[in-house]
């Protein structure tokens, strides 16, 4: 009986160990002014070493979704949000279904937007946010073909929630 109990205890211990989830090891990107930190899971997001006008660029592990981060040296007012977003996409076409709403990310109230763009007969969806804080405004933006956004919303939210203000 004692041997059976010991065996049962040992088997349950192995099952318990197998069921514990390892917390992912996060990497971080610190903004160029040292005001913001973006913590990300390298199993879901890969930081590109070279950028094309953004401060930092990432893509998901399947290279379907691109994420872009920039820290502006000025403030983007709520009045100028729509024109700023339209300006970013003008060389690719006209955006449609632009929606901007207030949203809480961590303790920050941001102007979150979603929009669509028909480019070379492919429908792309973009989303992201602007936040005006210490030192100017920041933007974090995601873009992908429409089919990739919804199934990957969880990792988009994960990266959004990785943004923190570095305490003084």
Per the structure, how many domains does the chain have? Answer: 1
pLDDT given for residue 4 in this prediction: 44
Question: Does 4 map to a domain?
Answer: no
Nearest to 163 by CA among 146, 141, 135, 145: 141
Residue 141 belongs to a domain with what CATH number?
A: 3.40.1000.10
Place of tokens 């199993």: 43
Question: Residue 126: is it exposed, middle or buried by C-beta count within 10 angstroms (0-12/13-18/19+)?
Answer: buried
What is the domain extent for residue 64? Answer: 22-165
Task: Tell me which residues of the chain have a pLDDT lower than 70.
Answer: 1-22
Maximum Cα–Cα distance for the chain, whole Å? Answer: 77
pLDDT in tens, 65-91: 999 999 999 999 999 999 999 999 999
């Amino acid at each position: 009986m004692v041997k059976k109990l010991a065996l049962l205890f040992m088997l349950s211990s192995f099952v318990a160990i197998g069921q514990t989830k390892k917390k992912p090891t996060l990497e971080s990107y610190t903004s160029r002014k040292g005001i913001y930190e973006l913590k990300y899971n390298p199993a879901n997001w890969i930081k590109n070493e070279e950028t094309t006008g953004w401060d930092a660029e990432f893509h998901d592990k399947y290279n379907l979704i691109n994420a872009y981060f920039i820290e502006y040296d000025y403030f983007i007012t709520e009045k100028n949000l729509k024109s700023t977003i339209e300006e970013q996409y003008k060389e690719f076409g006209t955006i449609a279904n632009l929606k901007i709403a207030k949203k809480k990310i961590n303790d920050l109230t941001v102007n979150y937007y979603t929009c669509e763009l028909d480019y070379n007969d492919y429908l792309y969806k973009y989303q992201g946010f602007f936040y005006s804080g210490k030192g100017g405004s920041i933007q974090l933006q995601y873009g992908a073909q429409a089919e990739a956004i919804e199934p990957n919303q969880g990792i988009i939210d994960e990266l959004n929630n990785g943004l923190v203000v570095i305490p003084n």
